[in-house]
Structure formats: C-alpha cells, structure tokens
Amino acid sequence: MKPVIFGMAGLELSPEERAFFREAEPAGYILFKRNCGDRAQMRALTDSLRELHGRDDLLIMIDQEGGRVARMQPPEWPAFPNGAVFGELYETAPISAIEAARANAEAIGLALSEVGITVDALPLLDVRQPGANDVIGDRAYGYEPMRVAAIGRAVLEGLQTGGVTGIVKHMPGHGRVLVDSHKALPVVDAGEEALESDLTPFRQLNWAPIGMTAHIVYTAWDDARPGTLSHYVVQQIIRERIGFDGLLMTDDIDMKALSGTPAEKACGAVDTGVDLVLDCWARMDEMIAIADALPEASDRTKERLAAALAFRKAPEPARFAEVVRTRDELLALA
C-alpha cells in the first residue's frame, strides 16, 4: 500500500484509472463535485473502489463542511450550514450550540455513509483571527480556542454516530494567514505566546483519529519550510507538543503554497513523518510519478489507518430527519 490518497476524474472509474489504482494500491481516495452525480451513482462509484481493493473499510473521503465548502450539493443533497453559525449561537446558548453542531454533523455523516463515504474533512479547529484572509473565515467556529474545541468535539462525535470518521484540520492552525494557501505560501510571524492559543483546540482533541497539516510557514518554529514539509513542525509541534498520535495526512499537495514537483512534495511530506499524502486532481502522469516515488506505507501508518476507520459507528439512517429537525430548532434560538 502506498501512503497516498488520490482523486478520480469523473463519475465512474475509467479503465486507465482502474488498472493504475489496482497496481498502485493507494491508501484511499478523495471525492469532489466532479464525482458527485446522484446517490445511486456515488454508491456505485464507492462500491467499485471497495471491490477493486477487496476492502470494506477503504478510506474514501470528501470535504463536506457545509456552507461554501460542500461537494455534494442541492438539489440531490440538502445544504448544511457553515461553522460560524454554531459559533454565533454559542454566544448566547453554549449547550444548544454544541448540541446543534452534533446533530448537524450526524446528519452530514448519515448523508455521506449512505453513499459509501467513510471519512469527512471536518471539523476545522482553526481559531479565527481578526483581519486574517477569508480562506477560513466563516468556516471557523469562532475566535476563542475553547469554544472551537467544544464545538469541534461535538462535530467529531456527530460524524462518528453518523457512520463517518472526522479529520481535525488544519494542524497546527490556519486562522492567522494573510494569504490563501491555495494561491500562495502564507507566512505567520506570530510568536510562541500567540501560537499557543492556536494549538489549544488541537491539544484538547489530540485523541482525534485523523489530522490534516497546514501548508504555512510558522517563523517561530521553522522559517524555511511550511508545516507540511517541516520535520520540526510535524514532530515537535504536532506529535509532541499537541500530543497527536493519530493518522496524519497533508492538505492537498497541489496547492500553490508548496513548491517542487508532485513527487518531490509527496516524498518531502512523508520524510517529515506525515502518514498520508493527499493528491486531489486525478492527473494520471502526476499520480504515476507520486506512486513510483513513494515508499510503501509503514506498519505504524497502517495501524493508524485501521484505527481511524474503526472509529466509525454503525449509522442509523432513519435518524436523519430527526437530527435535522433538532439542529434547526436549536439554531432558531440564535
């Protein structure tokens, strides 16, 4: 098994993709809007991936946060609110906000598990900062670290009940950036004291099964390399100071924050101790180069992957309408 998550080009596997994926044996797959037609099509696609590898517990992930980050969209699937909605309710009714976030996450999990998705790139534990770039913005749960942690915990638990494993992101914190890491390399010059508040939600939820790194230079820790490619950030900050020992994956290595060829970036991340590389865009030549360059996944990575997928609970599809109603009644209190 290669320590990489690949994307696919369309609504079904092409013969070329099928042959390559069977040989490369990636750890998992990520779906985008281009892969989401309707329920029957998505279930057929995810079933074909499981059949290809003979694994019922295959990592098949999506970025379904709600708000402006949603790959499965209306009218086939319901719209879900963004993270800021729950942070705003927390101002006046913290317990209601936590329960609303948990109910919403269970509804998301039920929608995803219905079509065979096992992992969602949620919750964001990034602490929002005034004046920062809007790449995080209303996706965040708020400006206060413990509030972010409390809502994030509820989201992890809701997804789990809905049959999906969540990913805490973006380690060790994306809330301070002044540029969008999809377009350029952000540099955060904050000192240790300020950065400590960014670490707090991740430390509170360091038991999470999966985490995702940030493509950001933190000058207080490593002024030469972004977090994803920094041995110091991965080992000393994420693994040691935060205390995270779960499955650690990169954000998309195609983002403009990182330089080098796809294979160089993938190998650089694995060399720091990241478990899995995320390569989203289904470009066959790049995927072949990455698979050829990467080593086999380590035994520890395989153990973390198995534990992450075992985190899910058996979903109860009949609960969908109930949890959506609960969410909406609680959000009406805001």
Tally of CB atoms within 10 A around 231: 13
- Residue 215 bears catalytic tag: no
Nearest one of 135, 128, 176 to 152, comparing CA atoms: 128
Which two three-digit tokens encode residue 265? 């970036």
Secondary structure class of 97 (helix, strand, coil) = helix
- Residue 231 bears catalytic tag: no
d(CA 259, CA 242): 27
Helix axes 284-293, 15-24, angle to 10 degrees: 10
Task: Name the active-site residue from 182, 271, 292, 328.
Answer: 182
Secondary structure class of 149 (helix, strand, coil) = helix
- The answer to whether the beta carbons of residues 128 and 140 sit under 8 Å apart is yes
Buried b (16+ CB within 10 A) or exposed e, 284-315: eebbebbbebbeebeeebbebbeebbebbbeb
φ/ψ region of 9 (left if φ > 0, alpha if ψ in -120 to 50, else beta) reads alpha
Task: Name the active-site residue from 63, 126, 251, 275.
Answer: 251
Catalytic residues: 182, 251
